[in-house]
A and B are shown apart, each in its own frame.
Chain A
Amino acid sequence: MSLVKAVVRELVGMFVADLGLTLALLAVVAGAAGMIDLLSAPPLAGGVLLTVGTLAVLLLSVRSAAARRAH
C-alpha cells in the first residue's frame, strides 16, 4: 500500500512541483486556447501569448519562491 501511495505521490509531484506554478501555467494555456478558439485570434498570436506567458510564470514563480525562503 505504501508503494502505491509512493507511486501516486511521485506522479502528482511530477506535474505539481509547486501548486502556484501549476495553476498559473494552466491559466496561461487556457488563455492561449481561449484567444484562438473564442476570440478567433490568429493561432500564432495565441502561440506568442503561450510563450511569453510561460516565461513570465517561470520568472514570477522563482522570484516568489526566493522571497518566501529569504524571509
Chain B
Amino acid sequence: MIDWPSAAPAVGAAFLASLVEVVEAFTIVLAVATLRGWRPALSGAAAALGVLAAIVVLLGPLLDRVPLHLLQLVVGVLLLLFGLGWLRKAALRAAGIIPLHDEQAIYERETASLGAVSGTTRVAAANWIAGMAAFKAVLLEGLEVVFIVIAVGAGRGLIWPAGLGALAACALVLCVGAAVHRPLSQVPENTLKFGVGVMLAAFGVFWTGEGLGVDWPGQDFALLGFAALFLAGGLYAVRLARRTRREIAA
C-alpha cells in the first residue's frame, strides 16, 4: 500500500521534471510530424519509449540487490550533481546571464534542418532520418526522466508512484500538444527547471546524508526544510548573479 502523503514529494518532483523534458522532446517530434507526417514521428518516439522501458525493467531488479545505504549515497550524490546543475543554470537564466530555452526557435531550427534533408533525399530515406530525429530526441530527454524517476523513487521503494508522476506529465503534454498542435513555448520552462532543481537538490542532500548515516531531525519532513533552504539559496543566487554582472559592467 502506497503512503501517498510520503510519496508526494517524489511524485511531484518526477512530474515537474518530466514536464520539462517531455515538452522538449515534444517540440522535436512535432517538427518531424509537421514535415514528414505522424508515422515516422510516432514510430521514432515509440521505439525510444521501448528502449527506455527496457532500461527501467533491467535496472529495477538490479537496484534491489544494492545495499540500501550505498544506494542512497550513490543516488544522493548523483541527484546533488544533477539538481544543482539545473538550479545553477536556471538561476543564471533568470538573472539574464545566459539566454532562456526557446521552444519556438528549436522547432524552427529542427524544421529547417529536416526540410533541407528531405529536399535532397528520397522519400523513404527522408522518413528514416526524420524518424531517427524523433527517436533520438525522445531517447535523450527520456534518459533524464528515467534517472529522475529511479533517483527520487529508489531510496524508499517509490519507483512506481514516481513513474506515475512521469506518465502523468507525458499525458498532459500530449493532450495539450494535440490540442494546440504547435510547440509549447508558453510553458514557463525556466521556472519549472528552477523548481525541479530545488526539489532534486533537496532530495540529493537528504539521500546523501542518509547514505552517510545521518539521522535527519523530522525524518522525511526534513525534505521540506531542505527544499525551503534551496529555494531561498536559489533566489539569492539570482540576485547575486545580477549584482555581480552590474558590478563588473560599472
How many interface residues does chain B have, given as a range?
35 or more
The B contact surface, by secondary structure, is helix
- Would you call A66 and B244 a contact (CB within 8 A)? yes
Q: How far is the CB of B89 from chain A (nearest CB, A)?
A: 6
B208 at the binding interface (Cβ < 8 Å): yes
In the complex, A63 Cα to B241 Cα: how many Å? 5
Residue of A nearest to B78 (CB): A15
Q: How far is the CB of A56 from chain B (nearest CB, A)?
A: 9
Number of residue pairs spanning A and B whose beta carbons lie under 8 angstroms apart:
137
Stretch of B29-37, B91-99, B107-115, B153-161 with 4 or more beta carbons under 8 angstroms from chain A = B91-99
Residue of A nearest to B245 (CB): A70
Q: Which of A18, A26, A58, A66 contacts B233 (CB 8 A)?
A: A58
A3 at the binding interface (Cβ < 8 Å): yes
Of A7, A17, A26, A58, most buried by chain B (CB within 10 Å of CB) is: A58
B180 at the binding interface (Cβ < 8 Å): no
Q: How far is the CB of A20 from chain B (nearest CB, A)?
A: 10
- Please tell me the number of chain A residues within 8 Å of chain B, measured between CB atoms: 38
In the complex, A52 Cα to B88 Cα: how many Å? 16
- Would you call A17 and B215 a contact (CB within 8 A)? no
Q: How far is the CB of A28 from chain B (nearest CB, A)?
A: 9
Name the A residues within 8 Å of B71 (CB-CB). Answer: none
Given contacts A32-B212, A51-B205, A63-B240, 17 further A-B contacts (CB under 8 A): A7-B139, A10-B143, A14-B144, A15-B78, A25-B84, A43-B209, A43-B212, A43-B214, A46-B209, A47-B214, A50-B208, A50-B209, A58-B87, A58-B230, A63-B244, A67-B248, A70-B97
A-B contact pairs, 18 of them (CB 8 A): A14-B143, A14-B144, A15-B81, A15-B85, A17-B81, A17-B86, A21-B85, A21-B88, A29-B208, A32-B208, A36-B212, A43-B214, A44-B216, A46-B214, A65-B241, A70-B245, A70-B248, A70-B249
